[in-house]
Chains A and B, each alone.
Chain A
Amino acid sequence: MRKLIRNVRVMDPGDGFDAITDLAIADGRIVLREERIADFPADEELDGTGLIACPGLIETSFHAHSPGHDRDGDMASELRAAVAGGITQVLLRPDTQPVTDTPAVVQEQRQLAARLGLARVHCAGALTTALQGKALSEMAAMLDAGVLLFSQAKVALPDAALLRLALSYAADLGRPVWLHPEDVDLAAQGVMHEGGLSLRLGLPGRPAAAEQVGIYRDITVAALSGCAVHFPQVSTASAVALVAEARRRGESVTCGVSIHNLLLCEQDVGFFNNHAKVLPPLRTIAERDALRRALASGTISAISSDHCPWGVDREGMTFVQAPFGISAVEWLLPLALRLVDEDILDLMTVLGLLTQGPAQVMGLPAPSLAVGAIADMCIFNPDTYFTLDPTRSWSRGQNLPYGQWQLRGQVLYTLVAGRIVYRG
């Protein structure tokens, strides 16, 4: 399939290229990037006037309940949501049901994804058996089955000695380990940020100190092991500072942030809004602003939607009973454009945090729109404004606190290896 995209603003955070030009695609790769391409017979020509083309977005935290209960979503429903959001690659979280801790689960995930042919799917294997933090999982076997890296999903390890061994073992295999940094005893059974609002609502809180203590321990132990570690969702200024400090010492430590912690705060829980129940919890405005500053300073590598859909069954639960998670992969780009509109970051930096940064922390080749690059691409209209309606979602989860938000940025085409997998 040969495609020609005319007159589109190409924004490539890889090489900083930003100009209105034409793009020609053949055999899944970009073959020409120049103005007014002539003599390129294409099967389809797209008019890119007024649109932006950027490398396909990469979601670093993606839950598709596969395997799991399909009332909450499945590989097909959630990947459709992802490509509708301009996402061309996702990393599956291992906290599935059963947990992704055997080659069989990994093979099933990869086969399902291959059959669907939507976004590229990468698997994360559980670092410990059933994520329980009691025994190392069979990492080499999972690696042979095709996992990209190892992760503890949203479960902190209670045992620092086991963490040290797990990181050392993973270091042999040359793959990074993703950790949820939190002191399990301080976090305890907390269901939201510990602060003024949790006190008013009488809900058990997770103090910011739990993340600070947890990340300090994890960074210290990681330095003993020689393993690269990544914290996919940090939520506090102190955690970011500890990551920055470790990086200054030359340690292989990176962190990401979820869009929720950049746009929302504890007050969004309101009177028991289940849709704002998420891990790490929504914190104070001061923490939110510190995370925004850390984005601008480059300490944070990636922005994620931390996609976790839950079916309508959850709506009948109390805030305490409801599981953690927000379903927002489809709206990651429009939500991230809020950061541009609020003068936190420029557009190129935001796109970098959704493409380059995720690829880097996952150990993937850098996405690019240069000639010769694989044509994974998101083409969107930055000036289409809309009101977010959760009921019109591809995802099976309508659990997001952004209903009725006015956003801009509509994805019109998502391309994976030159093939259009979504048309808006």
Chain B
Amino acid sequence: MAMQSATASQAAAADISSLVRAAQAGDQEAFEQLYRLHVGRINAICRRMLGDPRWAEDVVQDAFVRAWLMLAGFRHESCFGSWLYRLTVNAVLLELRSTKRRRARVMPCEDITELDHRQESPAPDQALDLETAIAGLPEKARLVFVLHEVEGYQHDEIAEMLGTAVGTCKAQLHRARHLLRERLQR
């Protein structure tokens, strides 16, 4: 059974690899299949990092367009999915950076405690809606939480991506977990 599963995953990887090669040669249908295979995962990353489903869908589009343009640079040395996820994370960080000031006019304070109280609390369901709670986190705490706890990046990788210190990342993660635990207790 395990052998069958391994064989199936090898076949899937080979399929993806051939789709990538076809897309690199300009085959849009192959790229559409790659899109269909990965869009859910890419949308999940964008949505959790941005905390806004509609905004996330805009960035998903940007990420796939960017992936199409950069496909020539993909050299099959790593998994296509990992390459695409990393490219997406970069796209989200750039989007956040370029729109930071525009959004700051709507939400001019980044103090975590203040923000937390200003955010609309999710409905006090018996089961915590973790997605909603993550979306309600302050931006930096949310980014670190999603990248570390959900996407599995290490603190040093996150620090490099965000241009901040490893200690700051750890502190943001601590705050994010603290805020989520508080919400959990309500």
Partners in one complex: no
Hey, which bits of chain A sit against chain B, CB under 8 A? none
